[in-house]
Amino acid sequence: MAKSLGIFVTTKESLPHVIGITKAAKAKGSTVKVFFTWIATHSSKDPLFATLCEIADDVSICVDSYRKQGYDINDVPAGLTPKKMATQAQHGIIIEDFDCYLSL
């Protein structure tokens, strides 16, 4: 069975790295979940964000952080559904349920 990788993203400059890591992990057969919080929610406005959503098994963002960064919570980023505008519980899922954890 392939390992699973959870990526916790807190920096807005990390999106290209997250995409590269996700591609490499998927190529090895891993399941990848990515969660964006605080200033990293700005990454959701980058055109590459939708690409990440297509590659990873699960992508979500902290809706509270998104709001606190000045975005309207009804403005769901391309590649996400309203259900993926989530809480910090997504971070807990990564910690508890995934074999490997990476924080950027």
Picking from 74, 17, 65, the residue whose alpha carbon sits closest to that of residue 42 is 65
End-to-end CA distance of the chain: 26
Instruction: Please return the burial class of 38, using the count of CB atoms within 10 Å of its CB with bins 0-12, 13-18 and 19+.
Output: middle
Domains of the chain, first to last: 4-103 (3.40.1260.10)
Whether the pTM exceeds 0.85: the reply is yes
Structure confidence by residue, pLDDT tens digits, 7-19: 999 998 999 999 9
Structure confidence by residue, pLDDT tens digits, 16-65: 999 999 999 999 999 999 999 999 999 999 999 999 999 999 999 999 99
Q: How many CB atoms lie within 10 A of CB 16?
A: 12
Q: How many CB atoms lie within 10 A of CB 26?
A: 16
Between 15-27 and 48-55, two packed helices, what is the crossing angle to 10 degrees?
Answer: 20
Q: How many CB atoms lie within 10 A of CB 69?
A: 18
